[in-house]
Amino acid sequence: MNRPWPLRRRLTLVVGIIILIVSTSIAIVVSVATRNALVEQVDEDLITFSTRPAPSTTPLDPAPGDPEQPQVEPAGSESFQPFALMHFDHDGEIILVQTAGYPSEPEPPPDVSTLTPADLERRAGTFITLGTAEGTGSVRALVRTNPNGYELLAQSLDSVDASSQQMVATSLAVSLLASVVGIAVAWLLLRRGFRPVDDMIDTAGAIASGDLSRRTEPVESTTELGRLATALDHMLTRIESADRERLSEADRLRRFVDDASHELRTPIAAISGYAELYTEGGIEPGPKLDRAMARIGEASLRAGRLIEDLLGLARLDQEIGFGREQLDVAALAEQIAEDATVSSGREIFADTSGPIIVDADPVWLRQAIENLINNAVTHAPHSASIEVVTASTSSQARIAVIDHGPGIAETERERVFDRFARPDSGRARAHGGAGLGLAIVREVVLSHDGEIEVRETPGGGATVQITLPLEGPPTSGRAEESLR
């Protein structure tokens, strides 16, 4: 099966055919118009010649032995005669023939075998085109009447036909040459014009082979191909960015699975080890068994907390946003601080002033603030104070949990919200937790189109601040400066 021609070749061929058709049409029109003009010139010459004094129309003696054959009268001199003259009687019989050309080489007379007296009468005063008696060439004739019958004045059209044929041949040659030149020019222009398309094809092939950094060459953006190339580059940039994000997410997922497996392996191994030791009789009833049961209980609680956090992260993508409502974060912060004071036995202060309304999911936003407070309770010394402060700006609501513990090193602040991330400072594994609490906080905040940041508390400690879009105009909440 033959492969279809490329678009560039087909367009070039179409351009060549169009040029050939147009050139040929022009050549035909010019040739026909030129021939008509030459024929009209012959007609004018016939009219001019017909105004001369009429030659004698007296019949000559017929040739011996052929009484029906008319007498042929030569031109009478060796000069060239451009016209032939024939006289007919009223019955259409030829009574005089005067040939054109030289007397020694006369031109063949017109072929009048098909003309009848009625034709001569009807065509009197008009021009007709006839063939020659020898069947070669054609003549142009003027038919007139005279007292003795009819007169036919004729001139050969050989020169007109030769000029017309030469004109046609020249026009066709010029048309063919124009087509060839047009095809060559069209090929060069199309090749240059399709260069961006070829570059796009090469770029697409390179990208399909894995080179996502490949881009098209710069093209004038005002042209159609330029706009297409610009749009293609934007699309490729988005694809490259999405691929990087996909690979990064896949890497984070792999590390998350590895960390989750590692975190679960430790408590499960402890539970399994104590259970196996007890089954084999390695632990006798009494204080040793009590310690073993306590270790099993601690390990199970740790595994349970880890599983709950993992389930929370899994539910977050599906549930967040479906239960949003207008929520006063100042009142919510006060409630959470009061509950945390009771559950932790620590004094947790809420510093709020007036309502601050946001559009949020109350369950998940409460979970986020509680996680921040629990994180501060876990890592800050028992004597250190913990504060929950709310404030608002013209377009944002801000919630900050402030502690005065060991703080977080500046180098660790970028990854403190990663899953299973635990800084190497005083806020380490010894204080408990699997490193998922702050990860949940970040996911909740991002799902509310907010931001979260960690900075050092003046005098020592860590301040974690949540920023959320404000619902409607700001209320009488605390000023922004109070959080700085």
Q: How far is CA 226 from CA 25, 190, 221, 419, in A?
A: 37, 15, 4, 45
The reported pLDDT for the residue numbered 157 is 86
Here the tokens at position 37 are 């003009």
In terms of pLDDT, which residue wins out, 252 or 294?
A: 294
The reported pLDDT for the residue numbered 288 is 72
Domain boundaries, the chain: 1-53+69-193, 208-319, 322-483
322-483 is classed CATH 3.30.70.20? no
The reported pLDDT for the residue numbered 317 is 58
In terms of pLDDT, which residue wins out, 216 or 386?
A: 386
Q: How far out from the chain centre does Cα 309 lie?
A: 46
The reported pLDDT for the residue numbered 84 is 87
- Can you name the CATH fold of 208-319? Helix Hairpins (1.10.287)
Q: Indicate if the pLDDT at residue 481 is higher than 70.
A: no
Long-range contacts of residues 12-17, Cβ cutoff 8 Å, at least 24 apart? 12/183, 12/186, 12/187, 12/190, 13/183, 15/182, 15/183, 15/186, 16/179, 16/180, 16/182, 16/183, 16/186, 17/179
Give the DSSP letter string of 179-204: HHHHHHHHHHHHHHHTHHHHHHHHHH
The reported pLDDT for the residue numbered 389 is 93
Would you tell me how many other CB atoms lie within 10 Å of the CB of residue 309?
22
Q: Which of 362, 368, 345 is nearest to 467 (CA)?
A: 368
Confidence of residue 312 (pLDDT cuts 50, 70, 90): low
Q: Specify the pTM.
A: 0.45
Read off the pLDDT of each residue in 147-162 and give the average, rounded to a whole number. 86
Here the tokens at position 448 are 């509310």
Confidence of residue 466 (pLDDT cuts 50, 70, 90): very high
The reported pLDDT for the residue numbered 465 is 93
Confidence of residue 63 (pLDDT cuts 50, 70, 90): very low
pLDDT-wise least confident of 11-15, 175-179, 321-325: 321-325
Q: What is the DSSP letter of 136?
A: S
Read off the pLDDT of each residue in 363-379 and give the average, rounded to a whole number. 87
pLDDT-wise least confident of 410-414, 455-459, 476-480: 476-480
Read off the pLDDT of each residue in 306-326 and give the average, rounded to a whole number. 68
Q: pLDDT tens-digit profile of 320-367? A: 555 788 999 999 999 999 988 888 888 899 988 889 999 988 888 888
CB distance 109 to 86 below 8 Å: yes
The reported pLDDT for the residue numbered 444 is 85
The mean pLDDT value of the chain amounts to 77
The reported pLDDT for the residue numbered 62 is 43
Phi, psi torsion values for 453, nearest 5 degrees = -145, 155
Confidence of residue 315 (pLDDT cuts 50, 70, 90): low
Q: What percent of the chain has pLDDT over 70?
A: 79
